[in-house]
């Protein structure tokens, strides 16, 4: 051994150092990533308002499950605002002119939670599963519309075909209900996929679920395919998400105030003002996209089959007073079957048939309803009595019903209340026992909203509890569903809304906002433009 370095020795040492460095680099990268992750982290505790029926987003009927699911799956596209979409799992897409075929090009760097790569095959498997009767898909099934089949054109290219023109498909594909699942996992777990295990590509994966108590999601460290709608890429900052099921609204609110939860949904309207004035909290008040709170009239049963009777409701009920009392002024009075933030909402509908109680009386008189001795109108020996069905689970429905009942009595209409819970309620309204019942729906596609409410195919036990069957309306709705040209579509939507009001098919009460509240230490929460999905991918919790 000489004192100095021989060249060989130097090269050897350098080589060793180089190899060492090369070997160390990924290790160092992993360590620095872990260090970076450790600096973020934390668990966000979310106060959930409703217990899930299942965690399988394909078969669920609950919009609350959708909120959880958006963190576990990735949609093909993200909805930026009404009619505008950003890439999600799909980098680009084309739509055939007749809107019966959608071709998607997928990202090449996406992996499922089980490590298998995202392929076009996965899209086909996901969509075929949704329409398979054995799956018993609910919300997902209604979102996938007139799905026919998917064609795998290449490893990362898939064409989705529909039996009829379906203009609303991109909107549907942006919901968590059409999130893409892992075919490998599906093959592996079979019937257990869904009820027991659920594997997708999202920034979080399901760690555990204690029925009726809480859902635990843990971050996906390998996540690296965020859409440009989000602020960063890579794994989420949060280490975990815990959805605690707290159905009682005052309890849920209390957990926020005692710092047991970071974020709650469905804040009671009576507490909104108080929370807003508290510097510790931030209230998110986002107008919901959809149909708002409304009343359906059964067009098949007298007396609500008469236009005069339905019109009397419109002319009598003071929507502004209803919003101020029952909803503490947090809602806005509604005019149309669509909420104002939906594409194609016609503001002219707000000017139609304004409140006029005297006119209501006149309308009824002219229709032959004469005032009886006890203050209730009579025609041909029949009293003007209306069976009002509502669900008892929600105290707000009870309050709205009491309001409307009190409003209609001076005009000579007797409202008979029928409060029922759960299955008994559905049984009653599906068989059409009601004259009047409530509706509330959320959704981002206007054509879809109208179809649910007014298309004859949904009458007689389905969502169209108006039992409204009108050929002209059916045609309009079908046209709207097929029309790709925005200007033409807007025109058709306006026509439909005005027809609904002229025939007074329903009474539109309020347009609600989604009400969330969170600690101010929680930042960077994303909510979709429809106010339906709070998303915590970018979220950080300050210490």
Partner 1 sequence: MLQYIVRRLLLTIPTIFAISLVVFLMLHAVPGDPAIIFAGDKNVTPEQLAFVRRDMGLDRPIAVQYLDYVTRIFRWNLGRSLYSRIPVTMEIGNRISSSAELAAAAFALAVTLGIVLGVISALWRSTWIDVAAMSFAITGVSMPIFWLAQMLIFVFAIHLGWFPVTGDGGLSRLFLPALALGLISSATLARLVRSSVLEVLALPYVTTARSKGLAEMKILARHVMKNAFIPIITVMGLQFGTLLSGAVITETVFARPGMGKLLIDAILIKDFPVIQAVVLFVSLIYVLVNLLVDISYGLLDPRIRFD
Partner 2 sequence: MGSSTRASGSTDGAVARQPSRSRSAWLDALTRLRRSRGAWVGAVILGLIVLSVLGAGVLSPQDPLAVNADVTFAPPGPKYPFGTDILGRDILSRMLFGGRLSLVTGVISVSFALLLGVPMGVLSGFYGGLTDRLIMRLVDLMLTFPGILLALVIVAVLGPSLMNAMIAVGVSASPTYARVVRATTLASKTEAYIEAARALGCSSPRIIVRHVLPNTVAPLIVLGTLGVAGAMISAAALSFLGLGAQPPDPEWGALLSEGRSYLRVAWWMTVFPGLAIMVTVLAINLLGDGLRDALDPRLRGRT
Task: List residues binding partner 2 (CB under 8 A).
Answer: 249-250, 268, 270-271, 274, 318, 321-322, 324-326, 328, 392, 395, 398-399, 401-403, 405-407, 409, 417, 419, 421, 424
Could you tell me which residues come within 8 angstroms of residue 78 by beta carbon, excluding any fewer than 6 positions away?
Answer: 85, 86, 87, 88, 174, 227, 229
Check residue 182 and report its DSSP letter: -
Select from 273, 265, 305 the least CA-distant residue to 50.
265
Distance CA 480, CA 171 (A): 14
Q: Least Å distance between CB 421 and partner 1?
A: 4
Instruction: Pick between residue 431 and residue 485 the one whose CB is nearest to partner 1.
Output: 431
Q: Least Å distance between CB 392 and partner 1?
A: 7
The reply to whether 25 sits near partner 1 by the rule CB under 8 A is no
Q: Which range binds partner 1 by CB under 8 A, 162-170, 348-356, 415-423, 533-541?
A: 415-423
The reply to whether 51 sits near partner 1 by the rule CB under 8 A is yes
Distance CA 416, CA 77 (A): 47
Q: Which range binds partner 1 by CB under 8 A, 14-22, 111-119, 207-215, 333-341?
A: 207-215
Distance CA 126, CA 200 (A): 10
Q: Which range binds partner 1 by CB under 8 A, 1-9, 113-121, 250-258, 295-303?
A: 250-258
Q: Which range binds partner 1 by CB under 8 A, 21-29, 312-320, 336-344, 421-429?
A: 421-429
Identify the bridge partners of residue 94 per DSSP, sorted by sequence position.
103
Check residue 12 and report its DSSP letter: H
Q: Which of residues 320-339 bind partner 1 (CB under 8 A)?
A: none
Q: Which range binds partner 1 by CB under 8 A, 68-76, 121-129, 145-153, 242-250?
A: 242-250
The reply to whether 213 sits near partner 1 by the rule CB under 8 A is yes
From the list partner 2, partner 1, none, partner contacted by residue 161 (C-beta under 5 to 8 A by kind)? none
The reply to whether 523 sits near partner 1 by the rule CB under 8 A is no
The reply to whether 211 sits near partner 1 by the rule CB under 8 A is yes
420, 467 Cβ separation under 8 angstroms: no
Instruction: Pick between residue 111 and residue 409 the one whose CB is nearest to partner 2.
Output: 409
Cis-peptide, bond into residue 448, ω within 30° of zero: no
Q: Least Å distance between CB 142 and partner 1?
A: 12
Cis-peptide, bond into residue 426, ω within 30° of zero: no
Distance CA 129, CA 140 (A): 10
Q: Least Å distance between CB 260 and partner 1?
A: 8
The reply to whether 53 sits near partner 1 by the rule CB under 8 A is yes
Distance CA 360, CA 308 (A): 8
Q: Least Å distance between CB 390 and partner 2?
A: 9
Distance CA 149, CA 162 (A): 7
Q: Least Å distance between CB 212 and partner 1?
A: 7
176, 69 Cβ separation under 8 angstroms: yes
Distance CA 330, CA 484 (A): 35
The reply to whether 300 sits near partner 1 by the rule CB under 8 A is no
The reply to whether 37 sits near partner 1 by the rule CB under 8 A is no
Select from 515, 533, 540 the least CA-distant residue to 231.
540
From the list partner 1, partner 2, none, partner contacted by residue 426 (C-beta under 5 to 8 A by kind)? partner 1
Selected from 135, 305, 385, 392, the binder of partner 1 by CB under 8 A is 392
Please state whether 50 falls in left (phi above 0), alpha (psi between -120 and 50) or beta: beta
Q: Least Å distance between CB 422 and partner 1?
A: 3
State in Å, rounded, how far the first CA of the chain is from the last one. Answer: 57
Instruction: Pick between residue 213 and residue 406 the one whose CB is nearest to partner 1.
Output: 213
CA distances from 541 to 67, 72, 275 (A): 19, 20, 20
Selected from 97, 354, 381, 423, the binder of partner 1 by CB under 8 A is 423
The reply to whether 258 sits near partner 1 by the rule CB under 8 A is yes
The reply to whether 422 sits near partner 1 by the rule CB under 8 A is yes
Instruction: Pick between residue 258 and residue 277 the one whose CB is nearest to partner 1.
Output: 258
206, 55 Cβ separation under 8 angstroms: yes
Instruction: Pick between residue 392 and residue 498 the one whose CB is nearest to partner 1.
Output: 392
Length of the chain: 543
Q: What is the number of H-type helices and E-type strands within the chain?
A: 16, 26
From the list partner 2, partner 1, none, partner contacted by residue 50 (C-beta under 5 to 8 A by kind)? none
The reply to whether 246 sits near partner 1 by the rule CB under 8 A is yes
From the list partner 1, partner 2, none, partner contacted by residue 213 (C-beta under 5 to 8 A by kind)? partner 1
- Determine what percent of the chain falls in helix, strand and coil, rounding each to the nearest 5: 35, 25, 40
Element at 319 (helix H, strand E): helix 319-325
Instruction: Pick between residue 13 and residue 278 the one whose CB is nearest to partner 1.
Output: 278
Distance CA 145, CA 163 (A): 9
Positions touching partner 1 (CB under 8 A) are 51, 53-54, 210-213, 246-248, 250-251, 254-255, 258, 392-393, 421-424, 426-427, 430, 461-462
């Amino acid at each position: 051994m000489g004192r100095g370095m021989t060249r060989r020795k130097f090269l050897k040492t350098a080589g060793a150092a180089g190899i060492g460095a090369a070997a160390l680099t990924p290790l160092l990268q992993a360590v620095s990533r872990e260090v970076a992750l450790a600096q973020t982290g934390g668990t966000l505790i979310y106060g959930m308002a409703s217990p899930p029926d299942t965690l399988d987003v394909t078969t669920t009927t609950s919009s609350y499950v959708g909120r959880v699911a958006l963190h576990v799956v990735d949609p093909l596209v993200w909805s930026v605002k009404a009619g505008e979409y950003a890439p999600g799992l799909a980098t680009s897409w084309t739509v055939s002119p007749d809107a019966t075929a959608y071709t998607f090009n997928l990202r090449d760097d996406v992996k499922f939670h089980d490590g298998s790569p995202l392929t076009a095959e996965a899209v086909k498997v996901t969509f075929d599963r949704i329409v398979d009767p054995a799956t018993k898909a609910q919300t997902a099934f209604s979102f996938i519309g007139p799905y026919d089949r998917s064609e795998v054109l290449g490893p990362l290219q898939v064409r989705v075909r529909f039996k009829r023109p379906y203009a609303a498909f991109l909107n549907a594909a942006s919901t968590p209900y059409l999130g893409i699942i892992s075919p490998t996992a599906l093959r592996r777990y079979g019937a257990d996929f869904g009820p027991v295990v659920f594997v997708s590509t999202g920034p979080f994966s399901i760690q555990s679920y204690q029925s009726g108590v809480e859902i635990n999601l843990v971050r996906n460290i390998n996540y690296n395919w965020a859409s440009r709608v989000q602020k960063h890429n890579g794994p989420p900052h949060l280490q975990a998400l815990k959805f605690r099921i707290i159905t009682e609204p005052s309890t849920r609110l209390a957990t926020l105030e005692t710092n047991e939860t970071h974020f709650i949904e469905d804040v009671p309207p009576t507490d909104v003002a108080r929370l807003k004035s508290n510097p510790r909290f931030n209230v998110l008040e986002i107008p919901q996209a959809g149909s708002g709170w409304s009343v359906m009239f059964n067009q098949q049963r007298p007396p609500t089959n008469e236009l005069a009777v339905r019109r009397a409701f419109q002319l009598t009920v003071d929507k502004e007073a209803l919003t101020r009392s029952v909803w503490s002024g947090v809602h806005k009075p509604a005019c149309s079957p669509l909420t104002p933030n939906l594409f194609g909402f016609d503001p002219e509908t707000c000017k139609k048939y304004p409140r006029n109680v005297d006119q209501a009386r006149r309308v009824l008189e002219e229709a032959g309803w004469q005032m009886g001795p006890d203050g209730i109108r009579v025609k041909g020996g029949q009293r003007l009595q209306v069976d009002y069905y509502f669900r008892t689970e929600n105290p707000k429905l009870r309050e709205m019903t009491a309001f409307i009942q009190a409003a209609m009595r001076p005009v000579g209409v007797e409202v008979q209340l029928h409060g029922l819970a759960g299955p008994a309620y559905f049984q009653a309204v599906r068989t059409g026992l009601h004259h009047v019942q409530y509706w509330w729906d959320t959704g981002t596609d206007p054509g879809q909203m109208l179809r649910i409410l007014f298309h004859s195919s949904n009458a007689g036990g389905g969502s169209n509890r108006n039992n409204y069957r009108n050929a002209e309306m059916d045609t309009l709705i079908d046209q709207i569903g097929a029309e790709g040209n925005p200007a033409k579509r807007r025109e058709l939507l306006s026509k439909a809304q005005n027809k609904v009001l002229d025939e007074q098919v329903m009474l539109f009460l309020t347009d609600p906002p989604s009400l969330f509240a969170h600690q101010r230490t929680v930042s960077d929460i994303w909510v979709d433009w429809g106010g339906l999905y709070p998303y915590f991918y970018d979220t950080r919790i300050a210490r």
